[in-house]
Chain A
């Protein structure tokens, strides 16, 4: 028998708040976290908007020395992980330190550190480059720092699947616990790509919205959508073997009940138009859980012309006529595309939806696209008795992942 996997802690640092509660409250209220970029001078850039984490001060969470020698993405991950562990009440000691692992994924890792040090190299020569360049830029710096901070000595690695990263980190952790390999995992995703090279890379790839209005640019499933908006942040979970969590008296927030992943094997940035790979990922996640009824889908919904259409097709392939009766929303309309953190923060939204019975809306869906004809919960949050929710994540490289969570009912 596979083990059941409980969510006992959640942490988040997002453009909508520095914790889960603020983020959730803003999502339910339809607040948009996108604005003009303040982190660097955007003179000469075709795009000047992003969803930044505002007023983030790493020393609110970690000591100043660690803060100095970690990239912004790892600082977000550390802050979110500490919140999650505090909520879970999980205490690591000699009896369980090897039974707790960490998987924190990142799409672009320490791209900010890399670009800063490259500028120093070019301007001032090789002798001036920081000895911390590599320890700060590597994508596994976040999980490494978290394990050091918490004393978690179980398996520890980063994974990267661009915009599916967060979902795959949770999916891998879920499988390890489900298969009885480990008791608890700290898992999630983090990214901080709002840097000159990060932003311009996405602009040049043609993936980013050119809409100059920050509050209107991310408009998933709308006819006038023209690309995603770069966001940043982290979301981290404490996942535990349900029996072990109950035995220590933990509060169970939700359960992870399924995960499926596939690849399009088609194009490095474009999804398969038919949505076939995405559909198969959803079917695999459903099969894990014995094909339950789905009450809510948090869409990948990037606001790119390609994604939103192929995802709509994929949902219809999986659910047939029932697809029209399942509320689907894209919270990227508010927190934008948090890249490697997206799948984690959106799984978190699903956990809150099953806990609170509320579905956050897709904002800016004003002009329906005739080809995107599902119920996208436009404009306003909706009260729904959500028992099971699905989070979809797809990424450059052709990755498709779906995570299924359910309300904990004993």
Chain B
């Protein structure tokens, strides 16, 4: 499974019509993708459901970029699958 693709899919779902080429690991949610705090929660819920994770303890305000979410999820999956 490619975690970046999963995150990208979740972003496309919460921001219909977004230009997919803007979704890069460096992209910042607020500044580059116009994703506000509520939309970020929506994204987290979509990823939780899809990947069977619990991100409830994550302080989403501290997660600023797409790459940060990818890294976070990868580390959670590693712990889970260990």
Contact = CB atoms under 8 A, between A and B. Distances in A.
Q: For A59, A67, A131, which residue has the most chain B Cβ atoms within 10 angstroms?
A: A131
A38 interface: no
Given A132-B42, A135-B38, A127 B56 contact: yes
A132 B39 CA distance: 8
B11 to A, nearest CB: 11
Interface stretch (B12-20, B63-71, B73-81): B12-20
Given A131-B38, A132-B38, A64 B16 contact: yes
A67 B48 CA distance: 24
A63 B18 CA distance: 11
A65 B34 CA distance: 10
B3 interface: no
A59 B56 CA distance: 33
A68 interface: yes
A131 B15 contact: no
Interface string B44-67: 010011000010100000000000
Contact of A131 (B41, B48, B49, B56): B41
A130 B45 CA distance: 8
A155 B15 CA distance: 30
B17 A130 contact: no
Contact of A68 (B16, B34, B49): B16
A128 interface: yes
Given A131-B38, A132-B38, A135-B38, A65 B45 contact: no
A59 B17 CA distance: 10
Interface string A313-333: 000000000000000000000
A61 to B, nearest CB: 14
A64 B16 CA distance: 6
Contacts of B41: 131
Interface of chain A: mostly helix, strand, loop or mixed:
helix
Interface in A196-223: none
Interface residues of A, number: 13
A253 B46 CA distance: 48
Contact of A128 (B15, B16, B17, B49): B49
A128 B45 contact: yes
B16 A127 contact: no
B49 A65 contact: no
A64 B17 contact: yes
Contacts of A131: 38, 41-42, 45
B55 to A, nearest CB: 9
Q: For A59, A68, A124, A128, which residue has the most chain B Cβ atoms within 10 angstroms?
A: A68
B74 to A, nearest CB: 21
B29 to A, nearest CB: 14
A274 B45 CA distance: 55
A68 B45 contact: no
Interface string B23-40: 000000000001000100
A63 B34 CA distance: 13
A65 B17 contact: yes
Contacts of B49: 124, 128
B6 to A, nearest CB: 17
B41 to A, nearest CB: 4
A127 B45 contact: yes
Interface of B: 14-17, 34, 38, 41-42, 45, 48-49, 54, 56
26 contacts: A59-B17, A64-B16, A64-B17, A65-B15, A65-B16, A65-B17, A65-B34, A67-B16, A68-B14, A68-B16, A124-B49, A127-B45, A127-B48, A127-B54, A127-B56, A128-B45, A128-B49, A130-B42, A130-B45, A131-B38, A131-B41, A131-B42, A131-B45, A132-B38, A132-B42, A135-B38
Interface of A: 59, 63-65, 67-68, 124, 127-128, 130-132, 135
Given A128-B45, A130-B42, 14 more contacts: A59-B17, A65-B15, A65-B16, A65-B17, A65-B34, A68-B14, A68-B16, A124-B49, A127-B48, A127-B54, A130-B45, A131-B38, A131-B41, A131-B45
